[in-house]
């Protein structure tokens, strides 16, 4: 079972990340002939090899409820979401498995994702073509070097009410999720890099021997 704090961080990840998202993706002039959904899919599909620092803030009624800092790394089908402060935690997606390691609790939670049918912002990173082909309206606003993609859903079963993805000069700047309780999660991406290859060790956990492993 997830602790309340683990569940909250997991929700933040899924609203990412997991979720998440990055960058330095070049789009040709042909992108002007694409629909907003097609243009966004083109950008998000090309995110392999991404590393970035992240700052995540959760708002309610304009007030910051929680702020965390960490990093993200993506090498499909693997994703690493690491929180350094205030509570150290590592979240790994490895193919069809989700691993959440909470250092304070000395606990590793493992879940099988193969049977799950999810439509989360994390899918924008991992499987953008699947999410963006779903029941969402996608719009695009351009202001100078900034491009703001907005995904709207009228389906109450969707995780989010609105998802904003902002690019500045072809680099992903932020991802903002508005949920059905009007709580807003904003993720800022800093020092974004796109590399040809990421170390495999990024997607492995080195755990203390006394770590409690929970499945399900």
Average pLDDT rounded to a whole number, residues 108-131:
71
Nearest Cα neighbor of 90 from 76, 115, 73, 77 is 73
pLDDT at 12 (0 to 100): 46
Rounded Cα–Cα distance for residues 16 and 30 (Å): 28
Long-range contacts at 148-153 (CB < 8 A, ≥ 24 apart)? 149/36, 149/39, 149/40
pLDDT at 122 (0 to 100): 63
Percent of the chain exceeding pLDDT 70 equals: 77
Average pLDDT rounded to a whole number, residues 154-161:
75
Task: Give me the domains of the chain, ranges plus CATH numbers.
Answer: 4-215 (2.50.20.10)
Confidence of residue 107 (pLDDT cuts 50, 70, 90): very high
pLDDT at 20 (0 to 100): 38
How far from 134 is each of 22, 76, 167, 176, CA to CA, in Å? 21, 21, 22, 19
Confidence of residue 207 (pLDDT cuts 50, 70, 90): very high
Confidence of residue 47 (pLDDT cuts 50, 70, 90): confident
In the block, which residue shows the tokens 């490895």? 94
Tell whether pTM > 0.75: yes
Residue 3 has pLDDT above 90, yes or no: no
Average pLDDT rounded to a whole number, residues 99-114:
90
Per residue in 175-203, pLDDT (tens digit) is 999 988 889 999 999 999 988 899 999 99
Average pLDDT over all residues of the chain: 80
Task: Retrieve residue 196's tokens.
Answer: 């040809």
């Amino acid at each position: 079972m997830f602790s309340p704090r683990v569940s909250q961080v997991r929700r933040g990840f899924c609203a990412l990340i997991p979720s998440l998202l990055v960058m330095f993706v070049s789009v040709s002039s042909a992108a002007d002939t694409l629909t907003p959904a097609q243009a966004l899919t083109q950008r998000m599909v090309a995110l392999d090899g991404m590393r970035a620092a992240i700052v995540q803030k959760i708002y309610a009624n304009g007030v910051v409820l929680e702020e965390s800092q960490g990093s993200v790394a993506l090498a499909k089908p693997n994703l690493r979401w690491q929180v350094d402060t205030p509570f150290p935690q590592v979240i790994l997606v490895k193919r069809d498995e989700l691993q959440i390691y909470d250092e304070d609790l000395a606990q590793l939670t493992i879940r099988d994702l193969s049977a799950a049918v999810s439509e989360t912002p994390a899918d924008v990173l991992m499987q953008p073509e699947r999410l963006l082909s779903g029941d969402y309206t996608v719009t695009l606003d351009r202001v100078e070097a900034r491009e703001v993609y907005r995904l709207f859903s009228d389906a109450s079963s969707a995780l989010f009410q609105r998802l904003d993805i902002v690019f500045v000069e072809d680099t992903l700047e932020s991802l903002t999720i508005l949920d059905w309780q009007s709580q807003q999660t904003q993720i800022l991406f800093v020092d974004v890099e796109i590399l040809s290859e990421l170390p495999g060790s990024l997607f492995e956990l080195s755990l203390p021997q006394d770590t409690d492993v929970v499945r399900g």
